[in-house]
A = this chain, B = another copy of it.
Amino acid sequence: MILYGYFRSSAAYRVRIAMNLKGLKPEHHSVHLAKKMQFRDEYRAINPQGLVPYLIDDTDGHADAFALAQSLAIIEYLNDLYPDPPLLPTDPRERATARSIALMIACDIHPLNNPKVLDTISADFGMTDSQKTHWYCHWINQGFSAIETMLAARKIHSRFCVGDMPTVADICLIPQVTNANRFKCSLDKFPHVLEIYHHAMTLPAFDAAQPSKQADAEQPNRQPPGRAAEK
């Protein structure tokens, strides 16, 4: 298996967590999003959408490899192929709730804060850095408010969003909290979210998947001599 990703991509981070939970060890190929490598013809020939994560799977017994885009589709696919441990509850209501929380992040927070969107608003409407931070935290605040309300209303207090084992909901939530922290968005109003985050980060599968621990992570204080600082 090959996983095309980027240390800072929170969608790639989701897939890294899922693969860690399942003990899968793909080859990691880094696509440098900040240098816009995803839009180059070489990468478009691999993934026409020009996004990460992107999975190439040659483990499912077919003669040809299978290529798959979209983090949540990849996670469901891996869960179908490698069901242990499950990343979705077996109860239909709980399974639906886990998917619903995952989608509240994947559809209603993350896309709005994607670099391609921020870049477009900056280019077309002159968004300043402080407006960018405001925009970023606004959508996190809106999405997390709904998730916090849902979590607080659940009758049984659990260690993860839906039960005591991580599901696709936590796999989406934790990278989104990492992003919120990077932009210094206040999360004080979301105690359930923070409790789940802090618990998750004690697990090796979540910890090892975090951006700063990836091979392609930028090391701001360890620039090789003579190399210009990257933005």
Contacts and interface: CB of A to CB of B under 8 A. Distances in A.
A121 interface: yes
A91 to B, nearest CB: 10
Interface of A: 48-51, 60, 62, 66, 68-70, 72-74, 76-77, 80-81, 92-93, 95-97, 99-100, 102-104, 106-108, 110-112, 117, 120-121, 124-127, 131, 135, 138, 143, 145-146, 149-150
B146 A48 contact: yes
Nearest to A148: B48
Contacts of A74: 96
Given A49-B104, A70-B107, A103-B106, 11 more contacts: A50-B146, A66-B96, A68-B96, A69-B104, A72-B107, A76-B96, A77-B95, A80-B96, A112-B112, A121-B125, A124-B135
Contacts of A92: 60, 77, 80-81
A145 B131 CA distance: 30
Q: Main SS of the interface on chain A?
A: helix
Contacts of A99: 70, 72-73, 76-77
Contacts of A125: 121, 125-127
Contacts of A72: 99, 103, 107
A58 to B, nearest CB: 12
A171 to B, nearest CB: 14
Contacts of A106: 103, 107
Given A117-B112, A127-B125, A73 B48 contact: no
Contacts of A117: 112
Contacts of A96: 66, 68, 73-74, 76-77, 80
A106 B48 CA distance: 17
A94 to B, nearest CB: 10
Contacts of A77: 92-93, 95-96, 99
A48 B150 contact: yes
A98 to B, nearest CB: 8
24 contacts: A48-B149, A49-B146, A51-B108, A60-B93, A68-B97, A70-B103, A70-B104, A73-B97, A74-B96, A77-B92, A77-B93, A77-B96, A77-B99, A80-B92, A80-B96, A103-B106, A106-B107, A107-B107, A107-B111, A108-B111, A120-B138, A121-B121, A121-B125, A125-B125
